[in-house]
Structure 1
Amino acid sequence: MKNNLESKIFRTMFVLKSILLRIGRYGIFYCCYPFLVLKPLNKNKIVVSSYFGKGYGDNPKYICEYLLSQRKDLDIVWLCKPEVIETQAMQFPIGIRLVKNRSIKALFEMFSAKIWIDNSRKSFYPPKRKGQFYLQTWHAGFGLKRIENNAVEKLKPRYVKLAKKDSEMCDLLVFESSKLFKNVGKMFWYKGEIFREGVPRNDVIVNNDPAVIKKVYKNYSIPSEKKIVLYAPTFRAGELVEVNSEFLENVRKTISMKFNKDYVLLIRLHPNDTENKKLILGDINSTHIIDASNYNDMQELLCATDLLITDYSSTIGEALVSDKKCFIYAYDYDKYKQNRGLVMDLIDLPFPVTMDQNSFLDSIRNFDLNEYLLSVRRFKDELNISESGHASQTLGDRILLEMSK
């Protein structure tokens, strides 16, 4: 009883401290506002954020790398959590400045920038000025989960308010191409321009970059003759994903026997699960099973992967556009479908779908690659699932055009 009371007091104090800090930062910013508003926008400045400051990756990364290849005079500011700046600074290329997110400096950087790029909803920002251009890349490709307005009954009122405000500020929204989501604008509370010609982060997968594959193998010291199977379960709100090392080793061995190749199994937890990584994975690492949750770019892992295992994750989209082998293991399917809701039943996917361990192992043993590829290509044609392979360039050129205005 005493511990519960102390925990509640601690959480309350933490929330109050966060609120007071935010009020203080905005207060200082607005004291300077009468002078700042007279300052013109910096047409060469771009302020970027990804997953609320969690690091360098996703769609913004690939757009920025294209921009850096085109112009050396750009001032690209990446907003990061303090721990990211301390531990991951070397992962950012030359030409990108790191600034602490949710700071006074972050407000000033955003206020003076011509371009904003984000892949999640903004919750800390100055007033958007006339002439600024906001590219919202979003952070998911083809997926089954109901999102945003399609899942409004599952969202917190504060998030819905933030989402609507974010969409009001947005000038261009990126979303995948399929016909699965028919009214994307309504789903995002958005009435503006939508880009549906490809997802920037998928360029590297569609083009199957050998340098990226080599990079992943080198990072984990995986011999070149071995193949990678990636297990990437999605986030379950309020529950931890269930991972069993003995079962995963059986999976790895079964895959190796089926395809007559030695496989290494990488586990990639959802970003929302990484803070509970020790509880989920324990001491699961071995020479054959490796925790890849901290690798900074999921797309690079997917590029190097030969076979993907997932459940309701949008990584199924990457498997579709790349024709990679993909297996669905959804041990909590009925419960998840009831709690979250899906826009398509799992069994309608062109992948082997199972809900228990024995059936999953059997699906590997009975896998037929030719039938699988025919099913995947038919599914993509029916739903118009496609990638250009140069979405980063197309969106990067659009940003350069906006900067010239």
Structure 2
Amino acid sequence: MINFLRRTPLYPVLAGIYPRLHNFYIWLVWQICYLLPVDQHKIVFSNFNGGGFGDNARYIAEECIRRKIPYKLYWVCSNPALPFPKELNLVPPNTAAFVYHMATAGCWVDTTRKLYYFKKKKNQTYIHTWHAGPGLKKIERDAGSGLTDKYVRYAQRDSKAIDLLLSNCRFWTQCFRSCFWYDGPIMEKGLPKNDLYFQDQEPLRRMIREYYGLPMDAKIVLYVPTWRENRKLHVYHLDFEKCLEAFTTRFGGDWYMLVRMHPNVNAADFDIHYTDRILNASPYPNSQELLAAGDVVITDYSSCGFDYIQLDRPSFLYAEDYDQMKRDKGYYLELSDLPTPVAFNNAQMLKNILDYSEEEYEQKREVFMQKMQYYDDGHASEAVVDYILEHTK
């Protein structure tokens, strides 16, 4: 039926009307469900408003399952074919079922902004985990004109509903206070997804190498760029082959590149020639497992570059549009504050790899770590579940 309508002159008209009708429908269902009682033993988890089993919400849900808390657990998911634990009940986003469970759950756990209509009750607890730790690029209110007016309205409304925000370092707490339109409690216990970094890494390293058919002694460099609001592709020109050659020359061993694009971009849009040494890691369901299994990371503005500094693993910054991003959004830190070697083109990137100095990196890293004051210790998920149990009695 949909394909038939696409071929008719009516389709552009219907395509314009449908979102308005659906928004009104969701609004109406919220008004009705708002009258229903709250079940304090129900939790609704959401990862990017319908994404897969990942990010901070995943590790909080797994801790709930591990401790066998007597709660009903729901996960907002737009693709039920994705793998999920049997203890989680899947709910499609922006449906009547979704609204019902949101309106009657004692606790919400979200990794990103609620960019849709919602109506929170006073006896509901909203835990916002955000989906990243500190990074170079400014976010939210600090990004200024880099945000649309529509997004700002959503963000301000979302922040007013939050009961708890999570932070993994003193620096990030200070950033949240300036950028998030939020002055409520902040739990400084680390990020739940970073708990993975404090487990035994060897099983994860073996698992990822087996998954991609790599030798157990393979060295992995992850290329993990973030996304741009304008969706332009001209900033992803990293020369993978030459980078691998440089890593082999500088560090020795057999190196492989895992390319992981941000979930907000379509990896198929990038003209990347994958080989037996350059692998497409965008479809892999859990980026945190990839990061835990890697040896080196290359990114632009993603917080995973800071993760690797915290883990004391080599981190490289490659950003062709550094000056443009600085004008558009600005940065929390100067490049001189980072222990990370910085490159704006491929020639600089190759030089940074070949000239990499562990001694210089460690000296700068020590100063950086004192500035950030990280809280991660592997127990963030436990702290969040303790909070849920305390506030949903």
Q: Indicate the SS of the match to 2:40.
A: strand
Shift of 1:74: 2.3
Provide the C-alpha distance between the structure 1 equivalents of 2:66 and 2:172, rounded to a whole number of angstroms: 34
User: Which amino acid in the other structure matches residue 27 of structure 2?
Assistant: Y
The aligned counterpart of 1:269 is 261
Q: Indicate the SS of the match to 1:265.
A: strand
Shift of 1:93: 1.1
Q: Write the mapping of 1:1-400 to structure 2, written as runs, cut at 5 A.
A: 13-30=14-31, 32-33=32-33, 37=35, 39-71=36-68, 73-81=70-78, 84-85=79-80, 87-88=81-82, 91-179=83-171, 182=174, 184-238=176-230, 239-244=232-237, 247-273=239-265, 275=266, 277-282=267-272, 284-400=273-389
The aligned counterpart of 2:4 is none
Provide the C-alpha distance between the structure 2 equivalents of 1:319 and 1:165, rounded to a whole number of angstroms: 33
Shift of 1:173: 0.7
Provide the C-alpha distance between the structure 2 equivalents of 1:178 and 1:11, rounded to a whole number of angstroms: 50
Q: Indicate the SS of the match to 1:222.
A: coil
* Structure 2, gaps ≥5 residues long: 1-6
Q: Indicate the SS of the match to 1:317.
A: helix
CA offsets, 1:12-55, max 9 Å, x none? Answer: 7534312211212332453x44xx62x43222210011112121
User: Which amino acid in the other structure matches residue 72 of structure 2?
Assistant: D
Shift of 1:152: 3.2
CA offsets, 1:59-99, max 9 Å, x none? Answer: 11011111110115321111112xx22x31xx211200111
Provide the C-alpha distance between the structure 2 equivalents of 1:402 and 1:381, rounded to a whole number of angstroms: 33
Q: Indicate the SS of the match to 1:229.
A: strand
CA offsets, 1:129-152, max 9 Å, x none? Answer: 231111000111011111111123
Checking the alignment, whether the CA contact within 8 Å between 2:26 and 2:117 is kept in structure 1 is no
Task: Count the aligned residue pairs.
Answer: 384
* Structure 1, gaps ≥5 residues long: 1-5
Q: Indicate the SS of the match to 2:315.
A: strand
Provide the C-alpha distance between the structure 2 equivalents of 1:242 and 1:154, rounded to a whole number of angstroms: 18
User: Which amino acid in the other structure matches residue 349 of structure 1?
Assistant: L
CA offsets, 1:326-373, max 9 Å, x none? Answer: 111122221221122112122321111111211211111111223312
User: Which amino acid in the other structure matches residue 393 of structure 1?
Assistant: E
Shift of 1:165: 1.1
Q: Indicate the SS of the match to 1:116.
A: strand
User: Which amino acid in the other structure matches residue 350 of structure 1?
Assistant: P
Identity %, equivalent residues: 32
Provide the C-alpha distance between the structure 1 equivalents of 2:13 and 2:309, rounded to a whole number of angstroms: 45
Q: Indicate the SS of the match to 2:171.
A: coil
Checking the alignment, whether the CA contact within 8 Å between 2:317 and 2:343 is kept in structure 1 is yes
Provide the C-alpha distance between the structure 2 equivalents of 1:29 and 1:279, rounded to a whole number of angstroms: 37
Higher percent of residues as helix: 1
Q: Indicate the SS of the match to 1:373.
A: helix
Mean Cα displacement is larger for which, 9-18 or 140-149?
9-18
Checking the alignment, whether the CA contact within 8 Å between 1:50 and 1:118 is kept in structure 2 is yes
Shift of 1:184: 2.3
Shift of 1:125: 4.9
Provide the C-alpha distance between the structure 2 equivalents of 1:169 and 1:198, rounded to a whole number of angstroms: 22
Shift of 1:171: 0.5
Provide the C-alpha distance between the structure 2 equivalents of 1:227 and 1:92, rounded to a whole number of angstroms: 30
Mean Cα displacement is larger for which, 334-343 or 46-55?
334-343
User: Which amino acid in the other structure matches residue 315 of structure 1?
Assistant: C
CA offsets, 1:235-285, max 9 Å, x none? Answer: 12211254447x211101210221111011000111111x2x222134x21
Checking the alignment, whether the CA contact within 8 Å between 1:326 and 1:352 is kept in structure 2 is yes
User: Which amino acid in the other structure matches residue 24 of structure 1?
Assistant: Y
Provide the C-alpha distance between the structure 2 equivalents of 1:159 and 1:173, rounded to a whole number of angstroms: 19
